[in-house]
Structure formats: structure tokens, C-alpha cells
Amino acid sequence: MLKRNLLPIFFILTFTLTWAMWVPATLYKLNGSASILGPDNPIGQIGRWAPGIAAIILTAIIAGKQGVGALFRPLKIWRVNIGWYLFALFFQPGLFFASKLIDSVMGNPYNVVSPLTSVQIDAPFIFIIIGVIVSAIPGAFMEELGWRRFALPMLQIKNNALMASIILGLIWGIWHIPSMIFFGGTNALSILWAVVNFIPVTILFTWLFNNAQGSLLLVTLFHASQQYSNNFLGTIPGGTAEIITWLIAIIVLMITGPNNLSKTSERIKSE
């Protein structure tokens, strides 16, 4: 029963663990109150770990200690073409500067302020920077342990890489909805657009994952780089960055094809 429904149970458990924290915190905030369970709080940030926690729990039940060891094994896959490292580390900051340049050329200049400038903590700024750098890694790793290492290979058993990416992207986006509302997203259409925009990003994650031999390290770096860029540089207003991401995802699909999102390797499937 558990093995036959492992993927749906994973998604249900992931949502339950995260939303049990973020939904009450969001409701509290909408009512003008604060909560330590919010995604802006170190305790509430544990809600981001839910995909990895769910993957570990289910793997331990199904395959025991050896299975959990195998779940973490792709973290050791690091001998891949340096181009994948460059993509993982610099795609997001490159997207930031390219979007800003295009908007400026199109006659829409603006200043983007780093979110760190608004942090109100009675501590030296260097400690805040170090805290952001250190805290991003566990969350990025635990998300990728669940989304890419656990869920994506199972989705790619019965679906091609594109369909697996669309399914996972929509689920990943919906999972973020409480966080979106918490940080001020109250317009339903804006939230829907934000959810849909997880699809091209997920396509790029799948492209990286399948071409980097299923490396958990590479997708973790890619995820962490996105957080660093958003925290240190900020996010581009409007839709330029999203449009560029869609275009890049479409180009990747045209070059590699939807089956594997890779010309040189099969899509990574569950062991």
C-alpha cells in the first residue's frame, strides 16, 4: 500500500509538515499578530525542510538505514562538467542583471534595493550576511533532497522529463502559497502567475539534474544561488525576469527534447 502510493504520500506529508507551520503564521500576520512559525523566522524556516524530512521518513520506512544512505549518496556526485557549476552558481545573478539591463534599455529604469538593508536586527551587518549565507544551505539542501532527489526520479518513471517538470513545478509552486501570502501576496491572479512561473524554473532544475548525473550537490548549489541572489541583490519588479526564464526553458526544450531534457543521458529515474 505504502510503496504503491509513495509519491502521493510524500506530497501529502510534505504539505502537512510545512503548512502546519506556515498557514497559522500567515493567518496570524493577516490579523496583525506575529508568530515564530512564519517563514521569516528561524523556527518557521524549518517548514522549508519538510520535503527532505518527508523523503527521509518514507525512505527509512521502506528501505531502512541503507535506503536513507542511498538517498544521500548523490550528494557525492561532483565530477561533472564545470559548465554545470557555472550555470548552477551564476544563472540567477545573471538573470537579475540581464533583466535590469533590458528594462533600462526599454525605458523602464528602476533601483532595486537588497532586502538585507531592511533587516532590523541589533547585530553587526557582517553577522547578518554570514547568517544569510549559512542558513540558506540547509533549507536549499532539504528542499532538493525531497523535490529533486526523491520526487523527480519517481515522476520520470512514467512521465517524460517535461511532464515530470510541469507536475513537480505546479506542486512546488502551490506548496509556496502560504509563504507568498505571508510576504504580501494577496492578489489571487498574482499568486496564480507566481505558481505557474515555477514551471520554467523546474524545467531548468530537471535539465541540470539529468545532465549532472542526478547530482544532489549541483541542484542544491543552484537552489542556494537563487536564494543568495534574491537576498543580496533583490528581485526584479515586473515580469522581465520571468519572461527570460520562460524563453531559456523553451530553448532548452528545443535543443534537448522533452523526453530526457538531455541529449547525452537518460532521464534520472528512481532506483
Angle between helices 216-232 and 198-211 (to 10 degrees): 140
Provide mean pLDDT across the span 242-265.
94
DSSP class of residue 268 equals: P
* Per-residue pLDDT tens digits for 26-60: 999 999 898 999 998 889 889 999 999 999 999 99
| Rounded distance between C-alpha atoms, residue 210 and residue 85, angstroms | 14
Q: Answer yes or no: is pLDDT of 127 > 60.
A: no
Q: Is the pLDDT of residue 137 over 60?
A: yes
C-alpha cell at 206: 530537471
Phi then psi for residue 11, to 5 deg, are -65, -40
- Could you tell me which of 245, 254, 256, 233 has the C-alpha nearest to residue 115? 233
If you average pLDDT over residues 112-137, what whole number do you get?
A: 66
What is the pTM (predicted TM-score) of this model? 0.94
Please tell me the predicted confidence (pLDDT) of residue 185.
80
Query: Cα separation of 46 and 66, whole Å?
Result: 25
Judge contact between 225 and 96, C-beta under 8 A: no
Q: How far apart are CA 88 and CA 204, in angstroms?
A: 10
Query: Which three cell numbers mark 254?
Result: 528545443
Q: In a 3-state reduction of DSSP, which class is residue 48?
A: helix
**Helix %, strand %, coil % of the chain (to 5):** 75, 0, 25
What average pLDDT does the segment 176-195 reach? 93
| 61 CB-side CA count, 13 A | 11
Name the residue with higher pLDDT: 249 or 112.
249
